[in-house]
């Protein structure tokens, strides 16, 4: 109808948008767990059921009609869907099969009628649908978790648990030492302890954490996540503390002493200001070692770098001489208090080692016993694959196309999800002369103003992400790569 101007009749008449949250929360006949109202906290237990739709006139607006295992339909407000672990658990699958068998035996199916006549409406009018008395539940058979031939529990270390194999600094023997989460803790009864949640602050599952000396301790998932967040910067990289500088190395780009000076147009000789070719092997307090360029070390740890140069008798090299090593040592106290830049440990993010190549990603999956990085690679190449046109090996590239290359960039999101992106090697190609290569972004002040207006007016803020839409747009740059 043109009269409603694109709106629905309810909004045209009342001016209010309809709320269908109770319809969108669950699917029809979806498996759920609900709280039994007769048992009070903390002894409330969850019961398996199926959703039949919103319970209008009973409870609040989000209440749902729930089908119980004994065939009774009751309204319940505390309802949740099954978790990923419950959907794939053999024990839970058997429970659902027993539930369906009980409903079929009571109500029949599309072919067989129910063996007992169903009660009439008059027989059920005196029932209180909200505060009904606890009825006899279906006795589920005793089911044990599946075990292998050696009696070890199966699926106790699921692949969807992203906290396993993370690295974190924890207290051990009166010191802070590196540790690694090796798996979920198994109690004396052969079962895990706590409940898992993808929101790591709500994860109460117990985990086994191994220290360098082989000691294994139990920590809750939310404790591990809290320690990880405390030990990373705003971008998720591990904040490191320098223990000592172990060694140094140079390459072919290093400036030698005979090339230390450059002559200006006026004939004056000036010292070259460059640190090219110099790398220092650094050992961190967690025991790990990493090669870092001299350019980064002189900014983050100038005093330690100067002391190492004097001890190794390389302080007269051009890479050290131009930033005044003796001056740095004399002013060490002032420099230490004023320094604000610290080198980050870029090999790890949120306690997870980041691959440096595809081979490294596969190696980490083999070492960790999962396929998280492999799945991220497959997902990215599947999504970006529509932008590629594969030509036979003997086909010449079209005229005007430019040869380039690309590589994969790996990252870890804040929820510990592995992420992979294929990028073009733009740093190896010449920039186009009249085309801007920078994407415009909204200013920070504009975002703050918009959020302030939303808070003052009680407006909902919704965020969205566009994936791979740019691949459908025509591009003025025509690039091709040669595989392998």
Nearest in space to 423 (alpha carbons), one of 390, 387, 472: 387
Please say whether the dihedral angle defined by the alpha carbons of residues 92, 96, 98 and 102, taken in this order, is positive or negative: positive
Tell me which residue of 215, 218, 235 sits closest to 354, measured CA to CA.
235
Closest CA to 159 of 349, 375, 473, 316: 375
Length of the chain counted residue by residue: 484
- Residues 73, 76, 81, 85, Cα dihedral to 10°: -90
Report the DSSP beta bridge partners of residue 406. Answer: 424
Cβ atoms of residues 272 and 322 within 8 Å: yes
Q: Distance (Å, rounded) from C-alpha 178 to C-alpha 345?
A: 14
Tokens of 156: 């106790």
Q: Angle between the 372-384 and 358-368 helix axes, to the nearest 10 degrees?
A: 140
Where do the domains of the chain lie, and which CATH numbers do they carry?
4-124 (2.30.30), 167-230 (no CATH), 243-342 (no CATH), 363-480 (no CATH)
Question: Could you give the percent of the chain with pLDDT greater than 70?
Answer: 76
Q: Are 263 and 235 in contact (CB under 8 A)?
A: no
- Which of helix, strand or coil describes residue 218? strand
Burial of 82 (0-12, 13-18, 19+ CB in 10 A): middle
| Number of CB atoms found within 10 A of residue 209's CB | 23
Contact 183, 368 (CB under 8 A): no
Q: Are strands 402-403 and 261-263 parallel, antiparallel or unpaired?
A: unpaired
The encoded tokens of residue 110 equal 């599309």
Tokens of 150: 């050696």
What is the per-residue burial (b if ≥16 Cβ within 10 Å, else e) of 135-155?
eeebeeeeeeeeeeeeeebee
Q: Is there a contact between 197 and 162 (Cβ–Cβ < 8 Å)?
A: no
Residue ranges in 108-238 assigned as alpha helix (H): 121-124, 221-230
Q: Where are the beta strands (DSSP E) in 297-434?
A: 344-349, 352-353, 402-403, 406-412, 418-424
Predicted TM-score of the model (pTM): 0.49
Quick one: pLDDT at residue 361?
93
In order of 48, 104, 248, 305, 321, the CA distances from 308 in angstroms are 66, 79, 10, 5, 13
Average pLDDT over residues 46-51: 89
Q: Kindly report, residue by residue over 92-145, the tens digit of the pLDDT.
A: 899 999 999 888 888 887 777 776 666 655 544 444 444 444 444 445 444 454
Using pLDDT thresholds of 50, 70 and 90, give the confidence band for residue 229: confident
The closest alpha carbon to 198, from 463, 26, 416, belongs to 416
Tens digits of residue pLDDT in 416-445: 888 988 888 876 666 666 666 666 778 888
Q: What confidence tens digit (pLDDT) does each residue in 86-107 have?
A: 888 888 899 999 999 888 888 8
Q: Name the residue with tokens 């709280």.
A: 35
Site of tokens 């090796």 = 182
Q: Which residues contact 256 (CB under 8 A, 6 or more apart)?
A: 318
Burial of 249 (0-12, 13-18, 19+ CB in 10 A): exposed
Lowest mean pLDDT among 255-269, 435-449, 462-476: 462-476
pLDDT in tens, 275-317: 888 899 988 776 778 888 888 887 777 778 888 888 888 877 8
For residue 295, give the H/E element and its range. helix 294-300
Q: Which two tokens stand for residue 274?
A: 């460059």
Greater confidence (72 vs 428) lies with 72
Average pLDDT across the chain, whole number? 77
- How far apart are alpha carbons 484 and 480 in whole angstroms? 13
Confidence band for 386, pLDDT divided at 50, 70 and 90: low
Residue environment code for 23-56, b if the CB has 16+ CB neighbours within 10 A, otherwise e: eeebeeeebbbbbbeeeeeeeeeebbbbbbebbe
Instruction: Yes or no: say if 69 and 136 are a contact pair by the CB < 8 Å rule.
Output: no
Mean pLDDT of all residues in 71-92: 86
| CB-based contact 366:374 (threshold 8 Å) | no
Handedness of CA 202, 204, 207, 209 (dihedral sign): positive
Cα(167)–Cα(174) distance, integer angstroms? 19
The label of the residue with tokens 């001890």 reads 311
């Amino acid at each position: 109808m043109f009269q409603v101007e694109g709106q629905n009749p309810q909004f045209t008449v009342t001016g209010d948008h309809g709320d269908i949250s109770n319809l969108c929360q669950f699917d029809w006949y979806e498996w759920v767990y609900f709280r039994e109202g007769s048992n009070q906290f903390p002894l409330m237990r969850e019961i398996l059921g199926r959703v039949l739709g919103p319970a209008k006139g009973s409870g609040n607006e989000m209440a749902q009609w729930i089908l119980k295992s004994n065939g009774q339909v009751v309204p319940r407000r505390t309802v949740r869907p099954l978790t990923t672990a419950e959907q794939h658990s053999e024990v839970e699958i058997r429970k659902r099969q027993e539930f369906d068998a009980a409903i079929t035996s009571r109500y029949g199916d599309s072919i067989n009628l129910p063996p007992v006549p169903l009660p009439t409406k008059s027989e059920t009018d005196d029932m209180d649908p909200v505060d009904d008395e606890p009825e006899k539940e279906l006795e589920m058979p005793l089911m044990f978790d599946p075990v292998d031939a050696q009696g070890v529990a199966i699926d106790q270390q699921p692949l969807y648990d992203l906290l396993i194999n993370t690295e974190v600094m924890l207290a051990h023997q009166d010191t802070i030492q590196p540790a690694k989460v090796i798996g979920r803790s198994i109690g004396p009864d052969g079962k895990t302890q706590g409940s898992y949640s993808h929101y790591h602050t709500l994860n109460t599952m117990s985990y086994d954490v191994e220290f360098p000396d082989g000691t294994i301790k139990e920590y809750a998932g939310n404790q591990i996540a809290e320690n990880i967040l405390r030990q990373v910067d705003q971008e998720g990289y591990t904040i490191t503390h320098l223990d000592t500088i172990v060694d140094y190395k140079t390459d072919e780009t290093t400036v030698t002493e005979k090339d230390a000076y450059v002559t200006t147009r006026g004939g004056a000789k000036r010292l070259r200001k460059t640190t090219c070719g110099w790398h220092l092997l650094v050992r961190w307090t967690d025991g790990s070692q990493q090669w870092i360029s001299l350019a980064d070390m002189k900014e983050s740890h100038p005093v330690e770098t100067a002391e190492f140069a004097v001890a190794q008798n390389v302080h007269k090299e051009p890479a050290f001489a131009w930033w005044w090593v003796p001056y740095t040592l004399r002013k060490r106290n002032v420099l230490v208090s004023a320094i604000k830049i610290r080198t980050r440990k870029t090999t790890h993010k949120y306690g997870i080692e980041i691959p440096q190549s595809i081979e490294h990603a596969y190696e980490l999956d083999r070492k960790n016993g999962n396929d998280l990085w492999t799945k991220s690679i497959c997902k990215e190449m599947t999504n970006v694959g529509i932008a590629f046109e594969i030509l036979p090996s003997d086909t010449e590239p079209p005229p005007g196309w430019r040869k380039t290359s690309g590589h994969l960039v790996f990252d870890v999101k804040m929820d510990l999800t592995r992420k992979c992106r294929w990028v073009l090697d733009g740093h190896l190609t010449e920039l186009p002369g009249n085309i801007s290569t920078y994407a415009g972004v909204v200013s920070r002040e504009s975002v703050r103003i918009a959020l302030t207006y939303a808070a003052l007016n009680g407006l909902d803020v919704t965020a969205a992400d566009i994936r791979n839409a740019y691949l459908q747009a025509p591009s003025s740059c025509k690039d091709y790569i040669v595989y392998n």
